Chain A
Amino acid sequence: MIRFRLERRQETPVSVQIILPLIAVVAALLICSILVWLSGTNVVEAYKLLFLSTFETTDDLQDTLVKASPLLFTGLAVAVAFRAKFWNIGAEGQLLAGACAASFIGEQMWLPGFTLVPLMILAAAIVGGIFALVPAMLKVKLKVDDVVTTLLLNSIILYGVMALLEGPWKDPKSGYPNSPVIRPDAEYPILAGYSLHLGVLLSLIAALVVWWVMRKTTLGFSIRAVGENAAAARYAGLPVARVILIAAMISGALAGLAGAGEIAGVRYRVTTDLSSGYGYAGIVVATLAELNPIGAIPAALFFAVLFNGAGTMARTTGVPIYLADVIQGVALLTMVAGRLFTAYRLRIVRAAHA
């Protein structure tokens, strides 16, 4: 008699870690081609526009890299938090809070010009970190569910920022609820081309640093140990609560840096629509990267291509721009479903004859 059973793998081979996200993305694209077909557009045509328009001119390519930067930051934020099993669904709010901190510093006239950019980066990281620290404290001290608190904080921060932008912080020169524009000195320097700002480089450096911390340092080891088995980590003498708090702070700080980049490199002021779902997209990026900081780089690039390409596709064909959002959701689902096959493997068991 032949039976199948799922066996837990001891270790996931690297090849599977690379191939699986590719399979997940292809599966998502195949599933979503039904939607393209529904809109009466040739599937190949639409996907060509979706993915190749980024590479048409160097300007398009720059825009894509600029778009990838916040996605990489929030992807890293989620990766660090999820490693510690701190379910930070709040990168969206932490990004916005960090953006406000950066923008506030960026408009201060009394600060010497050269201090602005470093202070903005610092402030964004601290404020983002604090907004992740609060739910982590509530989780560690009072066992309050972190999913719910981080989700609720997103709304709290958004309403708070809206109140500020329609009230005391509103730019008197603007008809919209915007904060005043930051000083020219506060803008991230353009490193190349017309839009490739410092934040893009910072996000790449952040990926390398997070990788190094998670792989090569005691802190990284502790975070992974706490996430894999908190009880065993506590038994081994690790300060579990403190490790979770530190992981949360790093996570929030990374999300805050995404906000700083949007202020100092792209928008130059706080608006209510500053984050178009970067926080939630970070969860997709991190999952596709299997929480690997280096893997988050291609994952963030992929979604940047997708989001920017969707605009071109929607303008040229009749396919609504929201195809990108659907692909994002489906890719996340195919990825988690597919990951079952990396954590487990199918074994054929031949039962011995009785």
Chain B
Amino acid sequence: MPDLLSLLDVGFFAALIRIATPLLLATLGELYCERSGVLNLGIEGIMLLGAMVGFTVTYFTGELWLGVAAALATGALCGLVMALLTVILGVSQHVSGIGMTLLATGLAFFLYRLVFGQPPVPPNVEAFQPVPIPGLADIPFLGPVLFNQVPLTYIALLAVPVTAWLLYRTSWGLSLRTVGENPRAADAAGVSVWSIRTGALVLGSALMGLAGAYLTIAQFNAFTFGVVSGRGWVCIALVVFGQWYPWRCAAGALLFAFLEALQLRLQATNTLHIPYEIFLMLPFVLTIVAMALVSRNARAPAALLIPFRKEER
């Protein structure tokens, strides 16, 4: 199919990186949480609330970076609530995560309606513009794909090596991984399981909030109720798909973004007469298939889902 290959031009790969940005940010956020031993199912709601707060703050101040800061703070606050429930109180991570998603989703809708009412045309902001990196942006192919993007995309791309470095090359990362594998041993070695897990949840959830804000003030320029629509759940799957390794999770995010970019292209050019929903569905099906294939080797952090209580032995 020659016309299918011709779709995969520079513009396609630039779009792929744009689509991958929120997935990278939120997947890495979830990775921090899970490597410390806490499944954060609040991700879907935290992304939506971050998207809403980031948009609203930008709308009223006209400052994009204030919107970013507000979204980060919102995410961090949600992470703190998750920590209170799952780390301090040690209650079910499944139920508290779903509760957080329901709460944050409801709150995003509630506050948006309260602030903006029901305008006939959704209010919008002047979104982030691409900032070409001098020199690098002129490289053929790689330049426009990687080095002519919005600042948040650079942050997301940098977050991958930074996360790998933090997790594997710093003592904090070692503590975090130990807490996720064997909290008892970490505790005996003088590491505070509670503060490591709380820190991971706050940092991870802040990244989720940032991922949401990217959607409303960079990729698009308005908040809609369906703006996240399952992307958070996708990131949960990407962490499993990436077997809890930062680089593999990032690769999974790029693969997912590839399929979504392809779907958008095919829809726009009307190349294949397949319902677009099939393409939307495909990554989800592939994730399940991939999980079934790798499950024998996949190993979640050993202490995932298990609350740590110092006094219980």
Contacts and interface: CB of A to CB of B under 8 A. Distances in A.
Contacts of B210: none
A38 B233 contact: no
B103 A330 contact: yes
Given A333-B96, A336-B85, A166 B102 contact: no
A185 B287 CA distance: 41
Interface in B86-103: 89-92, 94-96, 98-103
The residue in B45, B96, B114 that gathers the most chain A C-beta atoms within 10 A of its C-beta is B114
A89 B237 contact: no
Interface stretch (A15-23, A191-199, A279-287): A279-287
B113 interface: yes
The residue in A138, A151, A162, A284 that gathers the most chain B C-beta atoms within 10 A of its C-beta is A151
A160 B281 contact: yes
Given A147-B39, A336-B95, A163 B278 contact: yes
B17 interface: no
Given A142-B295, A148-B236, A320 B288 contact: no
- A interface bracket (residues with beta carbon within 8 Å of B): 35 or more
Interface in A151-187: 151-156, 159-160, 162-163, 166-167
A59 interface: no
Contact of B110 (A6, A151, A323): A323
Q: Is the interface of A mostly helix, strand, loop or mixed?
A: helix
A268 interface: no
Given A283-B98, A332-B95, A155 B284 contact: yes
Interface string A137-150: 01000111101110
B292 interface: yes
A148 B277 contact: no
Contacts of A328: 102, 106
B38 to A, nearest CB: 13
A183 B142 CA distance: 59
A147 B8 CA distance: 35
A39 interface: yes
A166 B90 CA distance: 45
B110 A138 contact: no
Given A145-B240, A151-B233, A325 B110 contact: yes
B252 to A, nearest CB: 13
B92 A145 contact: no
Nearest to B39: A147
Q: Is the interface of B mostly helix, strand, loop or mixed?
A: helix
Contacts of B113: 320-322
Interface string A307-351: 000000000000011111111111011001101100000000000
Given A280-B102, A336-B96, A325 B288 contact: no
B237 A148 contact: yes
B99 A156 contact: no
A138 B101 CA distance: 25
A87 interface: yes
B291 A337 contact: no
B100 A326 contact: no
Contact of B102 (A155, A320, A332): A332
Given A152-B233, A162-B277, A332 B98 contact: yes
Interface in A46-93: 87, 89
A35 interface: yes
Nearest to A287: B95
A329 B275 CA distance: 35
Contacts of B281: 155-156, 159-160, 163
Nearest to A326: B106
A198 to B, nearest CB: 30
A284 B95 CA distance: 8
Contacts of B296: 142-143
A326 B110 contact: yes
A19 B249 CA distance: 44
A353 interface: no
A205 B186 CA distance: 51
Nearest to A339: B91
Given A159-B277, A166-B275, A333-B103, A148 B95 contact: no
Given A147-B39, A152-B233, A155-B230, A336 B92 contact: yes
A5 interface: yes
B41 interface: yes
A54 B254 CA distance: 49
Nearest to B86: A336
B166 interface: no
A329 B94 contact: no
Contacts of B287: 148, 152
30 contacts: A38-B114, A138-B288, A142-B295, A142-B296, A143-B295, A144-B288, A144-B292, A147-B39, A147-B41, A148-B236, A149-B291, A152-B284, A152-B287, A154-B230, A155-B280, A156-B284, A156-B285, A159-B284, A163-B277, A163-B281, A167-B275, A320-B110, A325-B106, A325-B110, A329-B99, A329-B101, A329-B105, A333-B99, A333-B103, A336-B91
Given A148-B236, A152-B233, A322-B113, 7 more contacts: A138-B292, A152-B288, A154-B230, A154-B233, A284-B102, A325-B105, A325-B109
Interface of B: 39, 41, 45, 81, 85, 89-92, 94-96, 98-107, 109-110, 113-114, 230, 233, 236-237, 240, 275, 277-278, 280-281, 284-285, 287-288, 291-292, 295-296, 300, 309, 311
Which 9 A-B residue pairings sit nearest by Cβ, starting from the closest?
Answer: A329-B103, A325-B106, A329-B102, A332-B99, A326-B106, A320-B113, A163-B277, A322-B109, A159-B281
